[in-house]
C-alpha cells in the first residue's frame, strides 16, 4: 500500500512537469551580404622643402612644421589597407636657377642604420598619436608604417574616409657638395590587409 | 535445527509486516490525480544561415520563395500564431564601426537597408522591420510548415569612385538576423 501511494505521488509529479515549460518558441536565420572592394589612398602633401627657400646645412636635422600632423593619409577606397613606406637615394636634380641636366653620378644615399655620413642622409616619420618625438627610420625597403608605442601596431586604414596624420624628419649628410639641388621621393602605398 | 529456521522466518515475517500495519487498518483508499495538459510547442526555421553573396549599393536581391522553411514541431500540442522581425545589419568584423539600419518604411537610404518576406503562393512581399509583425495570417498547427523567400534592398552608396558605387567597407561581410516567434494561439 505504501509503495502504491509513493508510486502515485511520483506519477502525479511527472504529469505536472511539462506545465513548467516555456510558452513561446523562436527560430532565427543569420543573413550575410558581401561588399565589393576598391583600393585607393590620397596624401594631403605632394612636396616638402626642409629649409623652405633656403639651403640646407651639413649634418642638420629638419622636421616638418607639424611634427605629427603635417600630412594626411586618407583611405579613398573602402578596403582595409595597411600603409607601407619607403624612401630612395636623393638625386642631384640641377644647379639652382639653371636647367642643368640631371647627373646620376652624384647622390646622397639613404642610410639604413639610423645614422648619416658623408653623402649619406637619413629620413624618419612620426605618426600622430605616437610617443612624443619618437621617430621611425625610412629605408629603401618597403616597410609597414607603425607606431613605436606598445600596442598601437601597424597603420591600417580600415574603411572609406579613415585617415591618419604623420610628419617627417630629415638629417642631412655630414658632408656634401654644396650648391646642388637634391631631390628624393618618399613612396607611401596601400596594400590590402 | 528446524526450530531455529522457523524462528528466523517468523521474525522476518513480523518485521516485514510491521510497516504495513496502518495500511492494513483500512480496506481501501482513493487517490485523485488532477492534471492540466500544457500547450507545448516549438518551431524550427531553416536554414540557420543564408548568404546573398556579393551585393552592390541600391540594388534588390531576392531569394527563391522556397529558400526558407518554418515548421511547427509535429509533437506540439497546440496551434500557434507567428511573428517575424529583423535587425540592423552590422559589419561582421567590427559591428560598432559600421552598420546599416533596417528600414521601417520600405525605403533605403545611405546606410539604411530594407527587407521583405514573401510566403510561397502569396501575392506580395511584406516588410520586415525591427518591430514584430504577423508572419502568417492564420494559426499554424502541429506539423504545419510555410516556405518563404526574402527580398533585400541594399543601402544607397556611401561613395562613388570611377563611376562605380561602393559601401564604406570593402571585401566586408555585413550580417543581420531575422527572428520568427511563435506564441500560443
Q: Is the Cβ–Cβ distance between A153 and A144 less than 8 Å?
A: no
Measure in Å the smallest separation between the Cα of A97 and chain B Cα atoms.
Answer: 40
Cα–Cα distance for residue pair B122/B134, rounded to 1 Å: 14
Total number of domains in chain B: 1
pLDDT at residue A3 in the model: 41
- Say yes or no: B59 contacts chain A, CB-CB below 8 A: no
Assigned domain for B36 exists: no
Which of B38, B36, B136 has the alpha carbon at shortest distance from B78?
A: B38
Q: Is residue B24 part of a domain?
A: no
Q: What angle do CA A72, A78, A84 make, to 5 degrees?
A: 50
- Please state, in angstroms and rounded to a whole number, the distance separating the CA atoms of residues B18 and B24: 10
Interchain contact, B36 vs A160, CB within 8 Å:
no
Domain span at residue A81 reads 49-192
Interface test with B, best of A25, A38, A162 (most B CBs within 10 A): A25
Among B23, B45, B167, the residue with its CB nearest the CB of A28 is B45
- Is residue B9 predicted with pLDDT exceeding 90? no
A150, part of any domain: yes
Q: Residue B2 contacts by C-beta under 8 Å, 6 or more apart in sequence?
A: none
**A11 — pLDDT class (breaks 50, 70, 90):** very low
Q: Please state, in angstroms and rounded to a whole number, the distance separating the CA atoms of residues B26 and B41.
A: 44
Q: Mean of the per-residue pLDDT values for chain A?
A: 87
Show the domain range for B172.
43-48+58-184
Q: Within a domain: residue A122?
A: yes
Which pTM does this prediction carry?
0.79
In which residue are the cell numbers 509513493 written? A6
Nearest to A81 by CA among A138, A44, A39: A39
DSSP conformational letter for B131: S
**pLDDT for position A1:** 44
Cα B138 to Cα B134: distance, rounded to the nearest angstrom: 9
Window 153-172 of B: residues touching A by CB (8 A cutoff) are: 154, 158-159, 161-162, 164, 166-172
pLDDT tens per residue across span B51-63: 999 999 999 999 9
**Three cell numbers written together for B155:** 543601402
Domain count, chain A: 1
Which CATH number goes with the domain that contains B126? 2.60.40
pLDDT digits (tens, 9 = 90+) for B128-144: 999 999 999 999 999 99
**Does residue A180 form part of some domain?**
yes
- Residue B73 maps to a domain: yes
Query: Is A41 among the domain residues?
Result: no
Instruction: Calculate mean pLDDT across residues B61-72.
Output: 97
Give the CB-side neighbour count of residue B116, counting CA atoms within 13 A: 19
Is A31 domain-assigned?
A: no
Q: What is the tens place of the pLDDT at every residue in B150-183?
A: 999 999 999 999 999 999 999 999 999 999 999 9
Domain contains B116: yes
Q: Provide the grid cell at B59.
A: 540594388
Answer whether A1 touches B (CB < 8 Å).
yes
Q: What is the ipTM of this complex?
A: 0.79
Residues of B in contact with A14 (CB under 8 A): none
Task: Check residues A9 and A62 and name the one with the higher pLDDT.
Answer: A62
Is B17 an 8 Å CB contact of chain A? Answer: no
Amino acid at each position: 500500500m505504501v509503495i502504491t501511494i509513493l508510486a502515485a505521488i511520483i506519477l502525479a509529479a511527472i504529469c505536472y512537469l511539462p506545465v513548467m515549460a516555456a510558452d513561446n518558441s523562436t527560430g532565427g536565420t543569420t543573413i550575410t551580404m558581401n561588399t565589393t572592394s576598391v583600393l585607393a589612398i590620397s596624401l594631403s602633401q605632394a612636396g616638402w622643402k626642409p629649409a623652405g627657400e633656403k639651403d640646407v646645412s651639413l649634418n642638420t636635422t629638419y622636421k616638418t612644421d607639424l611634427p605629427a600632423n603635417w600630412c594626411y593619409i586618407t583611405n579613398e577606397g573602402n578596403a582595409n589597407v595597411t600603409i607601407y613606406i619607403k624612401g630612395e637615394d636623393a638625386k642631384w636634380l640641377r644647379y639652382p636657377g639653371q636647367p642643368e641636366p640631371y647627373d646620376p653620378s652624384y647622390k646622397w644615399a639613404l642610410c639604413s642604420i639610423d645614422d648619416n655620413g658623408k653623402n649619406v642622409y637619413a629620413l624618419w616619420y612620426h605618426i600622430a598619436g605616437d610617443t612624443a618625438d619618437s621617430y621611425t627610420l625610412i629605408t629603401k625597403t618597403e616597410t609597414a608604417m607603425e607606431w613605436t608605442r606598445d600596442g598601437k601596431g601597424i597603420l591600417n586604414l580600415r574603411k572609406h574616409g579613415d585617415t591618419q596624420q604623420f610628419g617627417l624628419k630629415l638629417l642631412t649628410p655630414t658632408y656634401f657638395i654644396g650648391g646642388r639641388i637634391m631631390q628624393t621621393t618618399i613612396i607611401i602605398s596601400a596594400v590590402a590587409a | 535445527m528446524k526450530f531455529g529456521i522457523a524462528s528466523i522466518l517468523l521474525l522476518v515475517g513480523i518485521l516485514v509486516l510491521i510497516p504495513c500495519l496502518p495500511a492494513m487498518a483500512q480496506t481501501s483508499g482513493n487517490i485523485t490525480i488532477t492534471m492540466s495538459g500544457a500547450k507545448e510547442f516549438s518551431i524550427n526555421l531553416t536554414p540557420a544561415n543564408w548568404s546573398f553573396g556579393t551585393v552592390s549599393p541600391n540594388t534588390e536581391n531576392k531569394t527563391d520563395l522556397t529558400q526558407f522553411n518554418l515548421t511547427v514541431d509535429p509533437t506540439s500540442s497546440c496551434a500557434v500564431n507567428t511573428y517575424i522581425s529583423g535587425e540592423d545589419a552590422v559589419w561582421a568584423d567590427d559591428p560598432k564601426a559600421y552598420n546599416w539600419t533596417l528600414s521601417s518604411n520600405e525605403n533605403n537610404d545611405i546606410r539604411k537597408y530594407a527587407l521583405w518576406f514573401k510566403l510561397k503562393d502569396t501575392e506580395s512581399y511584406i516588410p520586415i522591420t525591427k518591430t514584430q509583425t504577423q508572419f502568417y495570417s492564420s494559426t499554424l498547427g502541429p506539423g504545419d510548415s510555410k516556405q518563404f523567400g526574402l527580398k533585400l534592398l541594399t543601402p544607397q552608396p556611401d561613395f562613388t569612385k570611377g563611376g562605380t558605387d561602393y559601401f564604406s567597407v570593402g571585401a566586408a561581410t555585413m550580417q543581420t538576423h531575422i527572428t520568427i516567434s511563435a506564441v500560443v494561439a
